[in-house]
Amino acid sequence: MLKISICSAALAVLFFAAGCAVGPDYHRPPALAGTNSLPTQFGDVSITNEWKIAAPAAQLPRGDWWKIYTDAELNRLEFLAASNNQQIAVAVANFDQARAAVKVAQANFFPQISANPSATRQRTSANGSPVGNNNGSPSGSRTYNTFNVSADASWELDLFGRIRRQTESARAQSAASADDLESMKLSIQGEVAMDYFTLRSLDAQSEFLNQTAVAYQRALELTQNRRKSGIADELDVAQAETQLKSTQAQIPAVDLQRAQTRHALAVLCGQAATIFALTPASVGSTNLPAIPLSAPSEWLESRPDISAAERGMAAANANVGVAKAAFYPRVLLNGSGGFQSVSASDLFAWPSHLWALGPTLEMPLFTGGLNRAQLASAQAAYAGAIANYRQTVLTAFQDVEDQLAAQHFLASQLDAETSALASARRALDIANQRYKAGVEQYLDVITAQTTELTHEQTVIQLHGQRLATSVALIKSLGAGWNRGIPVTADSSRQN
């Protein structure tokens, strides 16, 4: 009776222990260290929405956010990148690997069973027996067969949560890998859009420079005719020729940038640069989404890099539990059974059966400091994961603030440059009229042309920069831009 009570008590202790897992349970640390608190908004406009760090949204579908630009060629390029980009393919493979690692960890919850049938023919040593025959030679030698069909089973009782912590870590790492995949997709999508708008801007610059060179060629011919008529002098011709050559010299530099940007787009789309081509279009034909100058900071919940860093903390925390479990015993239930015989004909006869049952207790008595070192390593990795998470949050705030500031100041710069361009065009018209009337020298025309050319190029570049920066802002917000957020198209076009 006492024996039964002791066994029952032991089983109760085992089942109670099986419900516990050593090591700290995961609780998300504050996003900022110390007493620092997260701001509730970006930009300069105060809002009432609070930052919600407990609701990561990186796994929510982002949709085809680039369609707000209503550019068919951009849509085509994004589809090519989604289908063919090799960086995305690597991230998909890493995610599949992480999902498989979860199944590997979960397999330890179940008994591990293996079969090991064998057939052996063997001869024992003649010198292995002390008994000799009549003539004094050893007689212990024997040749025989052994047939064995058996299976072994082993099952670890997860008394202290080692397997549970390993599975918890694997699941967190799988979630982080999924976020990394989303982050890679978002990064590639953003790079495609930004490179596309940059290329369109360079196309517009190249086209403008070529048109300007044609106009300057006509101006040179006009000046040469005026020289022949005695109205202009050789200095005017030299100045007109210098202006033409200077403009023509800018075209190859812009075309080189165009080629390099196009090659980068080809790689992003998973195609060879040699055969990659775009349909002709103008950067000014693309809609610029209306973007506010402030945004609620909770939009950062959509950023997959923040979610991945948070899941990395959870995985590191679980690894601390795994390291602590190494200080405790491991209990394995072992069993084996099957049939063994020296004759194949009676291998499966009942007298040939065999079996063995028994637990195994593995206790760390002396490891030379291994377990303590592994625990210290796991704790340091967790501290590093916290720091990485907080740095990711800080970088995200900086990223959004940078892009919001860029939107504001680029818009102001574009307004000023547009006004300056209009003034430069009027000044050029006046200079041409006064030169033709003989009131001014041709140098004044050259100066006006140079000023007008500079402002024209700047306006083209700013249009492209505003589009690229709008992409960078949407990307910095984790493409949460289209979740219940009204998006309208800016009616402004390139002049």
Residue 43: predicted pLDDT: 62
Residue 57: predicted pLDDT: 43
Residue 112, strand partner residues: 154
pLDDT < 70 stretches in the chain: 1-19, 34-38, 40-62, 128-140, 281-287, 290-299, 480-495
Type of residue at 390: R
Residue 41: predicted pLDDT: 66
In sequence order, the 6+-apart residues with CB closer than 8 A to the CB of 386 are 29, 313
The model's pLDDT over 354-389, given as tens digits with 9 standing for 90+, comes to 889 989 888 898 889 999 999 999 999 999 999 999
Three-state secondary structure of 244-269 = HHHHHHHHHHHHHHHHHHHHHHHHHC
SS3 373: helix
pTM: predicted TM-score of the whole model, two decimal places: 0.81
Give the fold, CATH level 3, of 18-113+156-329+372-490. Outer membrane efflux proteins (OEP) (1.20.1600)
Residue 343: predicted pLDDT: 85
Residue 123: predicted pLDDT: 86
Q: Which of 59, 154, 152, 151 is nearest to 110 (CA)?
A: 154
Residue 347: predicted pLDDT: 86
How many angstroms separate the CA atoms of 282 and 288, rounded? 13
User: What is the per-residue DSSP string for 281-319?
Assistant: --GGGSPEEP--S--BGGGGGG-HHHHHHHHHHHHHHHH
Q: Which of 177, 180, 172, 106 is nearest to 315 (CA)?
A: 172
